[in-house]
């Protein structure tokens, strides 16, 4: 644990004793906020003191297991974002630009800003885009708004019907874009402050590997195309890792998931069904068999319970929510009765970030039905709270100071699980903690919207493993 809050206590008058009642449903949130406050202040302060410079210190940082003092404040320079120039990028054909399409896919993303299934937003310089009939400078240059259309924020380009670009006509595109980067401010054993530059990436930059003998004081998120740093660009390292809760007791695990625990310990076949949306489809990660959240979870269960005989089934539908499954007719590969209930699993683990539009009363109504259905077939249930998605989709304005998930759906899941005694794997808390570890959470999203990479998938598995005692 990196930071420690300094608290000064003075003389206090003895207060009159009063009995205070606390809603038991609020206790987990209160404890989590209290734990967060216990390490909310870094011992080595950092702040922006120029367009691309950071003021560091004075203070201390642990390096190699011992505190090292930075005795005087210093300013360190951060390299601005770099521009990548692209010339004559060939497209064999452009699709028609569809202004009514989803914002991330109104046409085709330019390759330089392409992320998984879409483009990284805000990385393209829209004024730099030129669509041409031939490579070089000898051919015709097509006209924006007449021959083609561009969504500069989402990096999409497409032809316009009636324009000069034919349906199967190759085009060549010039443009420039700016990748993002995570730099680390570090301190060595002598107290010297320096910067380790990260490797630029258009959508998922990672914090750099550090040389021996230094400690990481803060990360600086150099967002592509930004003209200056702000306070929201700084991510002091307030914690090395997520503050894991005390291990669940065997009796509590058996209360929540008695059938599952008995089968894990006894070596009987345990059928686990992962039910969800595109995050549960998960085949967009490089190695689905080891990186999908449900695969990571089952593999770790097998390690913890060596006698376990686990079968895994995935029933998932990209871009849909639980209502979509309920609306599918018999015979559909996504019919709820046949594909979820009909498989009669022992344990259902649900993940539905696409249910995030539900408010708590809707969660209570819809999920009560599921609970009754699962109980009727003898299945137990573990609910995953969702990961964080694009800040503007969550009502967030930054990726710092975001411990508390603002979505009513998440509050509804927590209330539902507590009320009905359903196992809850609260992955949302782990996502909300990433900023304290120096990590902007969108850098774990392969499409910069809502598709976690293998690190994000691991956070789901971590949360699920909280439900099972150490054996």
User: Mind listing the domains of the chain with CATH numbers?
Assistant: 44-80+180-236 (no CATH), 84-177 (no CATH), 250-465 (3.40.50.1110)
pLDDT tens series, the chain, 471 aa? 333 222 222 222 323 333 334 444 443 444 444 444 344 446 999 999 999 999 999 999 999 999 999 999 999 999 999 999 999 999 999 999 999 999 889 999 999 999 998 999 999 999 999 999 999 988 899 999 999 999 999 999 999 999 999 999 999 999 999 999 999 999 999 999 999 999 999 999 999 999 999 999 999 999 998 999 999 999 999 999 999 999 999 999 999 999 999 999 999 999 999 999 999 999 999 999 999 999 999 999 999 999 999 999 999 999 999 999 999 999 999 999 999 999 999 999 999 999 999 999 999 999 999 999 999 999 999 999 999 999 999 999 999 999 999 999 999 999 999 999 999 999 999 999 999 999 999 999 999 999 999 999 999 999 999 999 997
CB neighbours of 232 closer than 8 A, spacing ≥ 6? 398, 399, 400
pLDDT at 42: 62
pTM score, whole prediction: 0.89
pLDDT at 363: 98
Phi/psi zone of residue 122: left (φ > 0), alpha (ψ -120 to 50 degrees), beta? left
Buried b (16+ CB within 10 A) or exposed e, 122-137: bbbeeeebebbbeeee
First and final C-alpha spacing in the chain? 26
User: How would you list the strands of the sheet with 234-236, edge to edge?
Assistant: 193-196, 181-188, 214-222, 234-236
Tell me if 99 sits within 8 A of 149, measured CB to CB: yes
Tell me if 457 sits within 8 A of 291, measured CB to CB: yes
């Amino acid at each position: 644990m990196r930071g420690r809050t300094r608290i000064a206590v003075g003389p206090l008058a003895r207060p009159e004793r009063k009995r205070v009642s606390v809603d038991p449903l609020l206790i987990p949130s209160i404890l989590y906020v209290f734990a967060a406050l216990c390490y909310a202040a870094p011992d080595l302060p950092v702040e922006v003191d120029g367009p691309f410079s950071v003021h560091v210190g004075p203070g201390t940082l642990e390096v190699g297991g011992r505190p090292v003092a930075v005795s005087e404040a210093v300013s360190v320079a951060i390299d601005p974002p770099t521009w990548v120039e692209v010339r004559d990028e060939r497209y064999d054909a452009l699709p028609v630009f569809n202004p009514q399409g989803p914002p991330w896919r109104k046409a085709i993303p330019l390759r330089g800003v392409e992320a998984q299934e879409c483009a990284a937003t805000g990385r393209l310089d829209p004024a730099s885009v030129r669509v041409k009939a031939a490579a070089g400078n000898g051919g015709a240059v097509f006209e924006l708004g007449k021959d083609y259309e561009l969504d500069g924020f989402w990096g999409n380009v497409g032809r316009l019907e009636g324009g000069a670009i034919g349906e199967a006509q190759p085009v060549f595109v010039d443009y420039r874009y700016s990748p993002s980067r995570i730099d680390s401010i570090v301190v060595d054993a002598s107290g010297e402050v320096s910067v380790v530059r990260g490797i630029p990436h258009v959508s998922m930059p990672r914090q750099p590997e550090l040389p021996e003998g230094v400690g990481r004081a803060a990360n600086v998120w150099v967002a592509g195309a930004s003209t200056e740093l702000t306070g929201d660009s700084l991510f002091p390292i307030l914690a090395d890792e997520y503050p894991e809760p005390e291990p669940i007791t065997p009796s509590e695990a058996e209360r929540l998931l008695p059938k599952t625990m008995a089968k894990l310990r006894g070596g009987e076949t345990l059928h686990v069904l992962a039910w969800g949306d595109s995050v549960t489809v998960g085949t967009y990660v490089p190695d689905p068999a080891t990186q999908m959240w449900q695969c990571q979870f089952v593999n770790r269960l097998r390690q913890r319970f060596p006698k376990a005989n686990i079968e895994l089934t995935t029933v998932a539908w990209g871009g849909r929510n639980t209502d979509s499954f309920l609306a599918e007719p018999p015979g559909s590969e996504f019919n709820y009765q046949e594909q979820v209930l009909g498989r009669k699993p022992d344990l259902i683990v649900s993940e539905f970030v696409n249910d995030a539009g539900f408010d708590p009363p809707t969660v209570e109504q819809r999920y009560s039905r599921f609970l009754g259905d699962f109980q009727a077939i003898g299945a137990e249930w573990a609910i995953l709270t969702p990961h964080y998605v694009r800040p503007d989709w969550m009502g967030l304005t930054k990726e710092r100071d975001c411990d508390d998930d603002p979505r009513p759906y998440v509050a509804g899941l927590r209330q539902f699980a507590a009320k009905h005694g359903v196992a809850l794997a609260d992955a949302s808390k782990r996502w909300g903690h990433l900023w304290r570890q120096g990590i902007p959470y969108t850098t774990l999203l392969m499409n910069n919207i809502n598709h976690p990479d293998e690190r994000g998938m691991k956070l789901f598995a971590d949360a699920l493993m909280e439900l099972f005692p150490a054996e």
